[in-house]
């Protein structure tokens, strides 16, 4: 949904300028994105389109930025490159009405009241992270205000170059009350009642002091921001019709990178400063490492509808030799299959969820089956009634506090985490 909304809003802004509107290529792009929300379903897939060889070459050319290095010792090895190549995240949305009529969808464009999409039973969503072979490593579905999660723990461990047998070793030695973690590690579907979790969250929020009301971005401010973005995009973005490729219309959309980033920053900064709760705290100036040259996206349209877009990340690097590329691809499918409820899912309570999340966060490599001193599952002193009450005042429900404690967190650990949160 965020991808669809962003694409639609940007397309409207790109073609708002009178000069750009005269270009047939820009008109094609605008009409193509306008159709994104016409159907009752949509699917997007963002994938690493680079080959393992391209990934290795790109890594060597750019070096290890974390350490400032460059050369043979920096970069990605062939095994890691093969794991990264073809890695994708797919989002599918299906609904009982056209997507453009969903309240949360319209709200993203500033024309409807806010509505929690998580609890909208008319909308079904799935997120899937897959490897190059198409195997789902992690999948989450939302149907009828219920969430469903499936994790291929062994596949994830293998992806990062570790021994998948670690998963079995960890699962075997988990305590009995960590059964939900065992289910997740075993690759079983688990379910969550989102309405129940939302009600519990509201109940806990009600026990806390009511926060002061944050200023909300009014319609006029949103309109001014959108108009500013339209103006910037209309002046800086150009289109070039490249004809047809593999049955699709090919359009090259480009803009001067540094100028575009600088002007977009100037357009967003005043509104962001006025409404920090909605936009977050932006830096004082635009990024200075954006290359001072044109960068572009290859757009492909089929039957007048957006089909896919390819962007070469190497364009964003200041110094890259010719022939070094790192393409990523965004594909769109307006007839995505309806999101279904998986069979045989085990229901998780909020306490179970907390155990599962913390167990996975620790990671198969981080969990010590022997329960050593550094293990997240090492025993901790049981929480007293007084400590549970104190943690509850800090916003940690008793069930969650006990779950944390079971995973080896002491009273001080949980208290510190609650304060930081």
pLDDT confidence band for 222 (50 / 70 / 90): confident
Query: How sure is the predictor about 69, in pLDDT bands with cuts at 50, 70 and 90?
Result: very low
pLDDT of residue 79: 85
User: What does the pLDDT read at residue 356?
Assistant: 58
Task: Strand 248-256: give its sheet, edge to edge.
Answer: 238-245, 248-256, 294-302, 305-312, 327-333, 41-48, 88-95, 123-130, 136-143, 146-151, 190-193, 346-348
Distance CA 68, CA 53 (A): 22
Beta strands 248-256; 238-245: pairing state:
antiparallel
Q: What is the pLDDT of residues 274-331, one digit of tens each?
A: 776 666 677 888 888 888 899 999 999 998 889 999 999 999 887 788 889 999 999 9
Tokens encoding 179: 């059964």
Position 108 scores a pLDDT of 47
The predicted pLDDT at position 213 comes to: 52
Contacts of 270 (CB under 8 A, 6+ apart): none
| pLDDT the model gives residue 7 | 44
| Choice between 211 and 30, residue whose per-residue pLDDT is larger | 30
More confident residue, 271 or 351: 271
% of the chain beyond a pLDDT of 90: 27
CB count in 10 Å sphere of residue 353: 20
Q: Which residue matches tokens 């364009």?
A: 315
Model confidence over 141-171: pLDDT tens digits? 999 889 999 999 898 888 877 888 888 887 8
What pLDDT shows up at residue 19?
43
Q: Which tens digit of pLDDT belongs to each residue from 373-388? A: 444 445 578 899 999 9
Q: Is the per-residue pLDDT at 57 higher than 50?
A: yes
User: Does CATH number 2.50.20 belong to domain 2-49+86-152+213-333?
Assistant: yes
Give me the half-sphere count of Cα atoms (radius 13 Å) on the Cβ side of residue 280.
2
Burial of 314 (0-12, 13-18, 19+ CB in 10 A): buried
- 101-105 CB contacts, 8 Å cutoff, 24+ apart: 104/1, 105/1, 105/4, 105/5, 105/37
Q: Which residue has the higher pLDDT, 362 or 253?
A: 253
The residues pairing with 327 across neighbouring beta strands, listed in sequence order, are: 312
Q: Give the mean pLDDT of the chain.
A: 77
State which H helix or E strand residue 88 sits in. strand 88-95
Residue 172 has pLDDT above 90, yes or no: no
Answer whether residue 35 shows pLDDT above 70. yes
Backbone φ and ψ for 64, nearest 5 degrees, come out as: -85, 100
pLDDT per residue over 346-359, tens digit each?
Answer: 888 777 766 656 65
Residue 3 has pLDDT above 60, yes or no: no
pLDDT at 22: 38
Angle between helices 2-14 and 219-236 (to 10 degrees): 60
What letter does residue 214 receive in the DSSP assignment?
P
What is the spatial distance between Cα 409 and Cα 411, in angstroms, rounded to a whole number?
Answer: 7
Q: Please report which residue ranges of 245-349 form alpha helices under DSSP H.
A: 257-274, 276-279
Lowest-pLDDT range of 59-68, 194-203, 228-237, 301-310? 59-68
pTM listed for this prediction = 0.71
Closest by Cα among 357, 2, 344, 350 to 194: 350
Q: By C-alpha distance, which of 418, 420, 401 is closest to 409?
A: 401
What distances in angstroms separate CA 330 from CA 46, 49, 54, 94, 213, one per listed residue?
4, 9, 18, 19, 38
Rounded Cα gap, residues 308 and 334, in angstroms: 11
Gyration radius from the chain CA atoms: 24
**pLDDT given for residue 174 in this prediction:** 75
15 three-class SS = coil
- Give the residue among 129, 173, 117 at the shortest CA–CA distance from 153: 129
């Amino acid at each position: 949904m965020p991808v669809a909304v962003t694409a639609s809003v940007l397309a409207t802004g790109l073609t708002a300028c009178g000069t750009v509107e005269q270009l047939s290529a820009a008109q094609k792009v605008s009409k193509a994105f306008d159709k994104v929300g016409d159907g009752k379903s949509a699917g997007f897939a963002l994938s690493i389109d680079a080959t393992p060889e391209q990934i290795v070459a790109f890594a060597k050319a750019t070096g290890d930025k974390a350490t400032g290095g460059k050369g043979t010792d920096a970069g990605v090895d062939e095994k890691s490159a093969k794991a990264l190549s073809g890695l994708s995240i797919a989002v599918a949305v299906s609904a009982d009405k056209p997507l453009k009529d969903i309240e949360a969808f319209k709200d993203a464009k500033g024309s409807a009241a806010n509505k929690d999409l998580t609890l909208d039973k008319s909308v079904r969503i799935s997120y899937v992270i897959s490897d190059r072979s198409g195997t789902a490593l992690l999948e989450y579905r939302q149907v009828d205000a219920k969430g469903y999660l499936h994790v291929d723990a062994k596949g994830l461990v293998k992806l990062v170059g570790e021994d998948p047998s670690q998963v079995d070793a960890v699962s075997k030695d988990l305590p009995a009350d960590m059964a939900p973690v065992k289910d997740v590690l075993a690759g079983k579907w688990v379910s969550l009642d989102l309405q129940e979790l939302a009600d519990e969250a509201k109940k806990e929020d009600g026990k806390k002091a009511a926060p002061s009301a944050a200023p909300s971005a009014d319609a006029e401010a949103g309109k001014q921001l959108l108009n500013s973005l339209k103006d910037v995009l209309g002046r800086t973005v150009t289109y070039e019709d490249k004809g047809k490729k593999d049955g699709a219309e090919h359009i090259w959309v480009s803009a001067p990178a540094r100028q575009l980033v600088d002007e977009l920053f100037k357009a967003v900064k005043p509104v962001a400063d006025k409404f920090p709760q909605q936009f977050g705290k932006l830096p004082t100036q635009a990024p200075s490492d954006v290359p001072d040259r044109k960068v572009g996206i290859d757009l492909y349209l089929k039957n007048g509808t957006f089909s896919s877009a390819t962007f070469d990340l190497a364009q964003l690097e200041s110094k890259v030799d010719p022939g070094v590329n790192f393409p990523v691809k965004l594909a769109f499918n307006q007839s995505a299959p309806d999101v279904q409820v998986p069979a045989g899912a085990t229901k998780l309570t909020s306490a179970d969820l907390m155990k599962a999340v913390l167990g996975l966060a620790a990671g198969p490599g981080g969990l010590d089956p022997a329960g050593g001193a550094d293990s997240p599952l090492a025993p901790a002193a049981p929480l007293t009634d007084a400590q549970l009450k104190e943690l509850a005042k800090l916003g940690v429900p008793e069930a969650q506090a006990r779950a944390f404690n079971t995973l080896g967190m002491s009273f001080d650990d949980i208290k510190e985490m609650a304060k930081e949160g």
